[in-house]
Amino acid sequence: MYIVIEGQDGTGKSTQAELLKKYFEKKGKTVVMMEEPDGDLPQAHDLHDMILTRGYDLEPLTNVLLFTAARVELWKKIAEPVLKKGGVVISARNYWSTLAYQGYGEGVSRNKIIKITKELLPEKYFYPDFGFILTVPDQVRLERQKGRGKATETFEAKSNDFQQKVNAAYPEIAKKFQIPIIDASGSIEEIFAVIKKFLSK
């Protein structure tokens, strides 16, 4: 089973992914959790740093290609082996993030992003078994980001106009790919209960 939890920075994706990992482990499943585009894989981590923390002024299409390269490495080295053994892969983000940030935010053709993803990754990656998009009001999201104590990354530092484009992207992505949107402004336990309800269906 391949599950993706999506949303802007500060919506609680990693927290919910961790809870899901523990949930399936208690059921006796082999589980791996990834955080795209990093995923605790050295080569993916280096690509992540090149895009997000080194201050390079990269072309939007370059960002698409680097993110996709990181995904190929994560999928081949981490996700695919677990899925072949009947395990569970839980990912905080997938190519939907690139559609939102590079497509809607930076203006790269969304069709081109989809085409690149389909050419370089298998159908299983492109069509998760379950996907969720977490949303919170901007003020809540920004407060959470400040409270994480992490350095501000490239796209977090972009203008309010860019952030609003990304905000507007997720409902459209949810509609296009029929992904449930979950209000993540409640408690961690409340959000997780909603996710489990979707899974039980």
pLDDT of residue 48: 79
Q: Give the model confidence (pLDDT) of 10-21 as tens digits.
A: 899 999 999 999
Q: Give the model confidence (pLDDT) of 59-93 as tens digits.
A: 999 999 999 999 999 999 999 999 999 999 999 99
pLDDT of residue 37: 78
Q: Is the pLDDT of residue 123 over 90?
A: yes
pLDDT of residue 80: 96
pTM for the whole thing? Answer: 0.89
What burial letters (b/e) apply to 81-114, b meaning 16+ CB within 10 Å? ebbeeebbbbbbbbbbbbbbbbbbbbebebeebb
Q: Give the model confidence (pLDDT) of 125-179 as tens digits.
A: 999 999 999 998 877 767 766 665 554 555 666 667 888 899 899 999 999 999 9
DSSP-assigned letters across all residues of 97-117: HHIIIIIIIT---HHHHHHHH
pLDDT: which is higher, 201 or 81: 81
Pairing label, strands 130-135, 2-6 = parallel
Average pLDDT over residues 42-58: 81
pLDDT of residue 151: 47
pLDDT of residue 193: 97
Write down all domains in the chain, each with its CATH number in brackets: 2-200 (3.40.50.300)
